[in-house]
Amino acid sequence: KLDFEQFAAAQAHYARALELCGEAGAARLPIRRGLSRAYIGGKNYARHLDQFPTDEADPLIQTNRAEAFWGTGEPERARRLLDEVLREEPQFEPALLLSARITADAGEPARAIQLLTELLKRQPHHVAARNQLALAQRQAGDLSGFTESM
């Protein structure tokens, strides 16, 4: 069982680390990445979105922001952000996986299957992608593909 207070504590620790690091600190990007994951883990999307790290050049932070937008009920905004990430880094696995999840959630399992199949060609043992593929296949009514993916 997750204790969401732990995520709140992590957010506070990361925020303090950023203060101590200063604007030009070499540790700033890894700290901001950790902070963005703490917000995702704590499901504090709406309450903290204005404080969410926004490093434009970092694909992981942008992917985490997209997940936050999706979590606040803004899937189109999340998709636009993921499109930007994937335009810069077409093989970026976290963005591909999240894009497939959002696409399937939007009722487009065929497109999600396509994204996941491409990811699995490069990483055939990727457990999360394989699970998402099975769910998208089931959603599309492809029960034979569903059982093969499991």
pLDDT of residue 67: 83
Residues in the chain: 150
- C-beta atoms surrounding 12 within 10 Å: 12
Give the type of residue at 123.
Q
52: DSSP letter: S
Angstrom distance (rounded) from CA 147 to CA 150: 5
pLDDT exceeds 50 at position 97: yes
Q: What is the pTM of this model?
A: 0.67
**pLDDT given at position 65:** 83
By CB neighbour count within 10 A (0-12 exposed, 13-18 middle, 19+ buried), where does 146 fall? middle
Query: Count of CB atoms within 10 A of residue 128's CB?
Result: 15
Per-residue pLDDT band for 58 (boundaries 50, 70, 90) equals confident
Residue pLDDT, tens place only, 4-42? 566 567 667 667 766 777 666 566 666 666 666 666 654
Q: At 86, is the pLDDT very low, low, confident or very high (cuts 50, 70, 90)?
A: very high
d(CA 109, CA 149): 15
Question: How far apart are the C-alpha atoms of 60 and 58, rounded to whole Å?
Answer: 6
Give the tokens for residue 36. 């963005």
In the predicted model, is pLDDT for residue 43 greater than 60?
Answer: no
Q: Minimum mean pLDDT among 52-56, 60-64, 86-90: which range?
A: 52-56
Residue-level pLDDT at 62:
86
H or E, element range at 73:
none
Q: Residue 141: left if φ>0, alpha if ψ -120 to 50, beta else—which one?
A: left
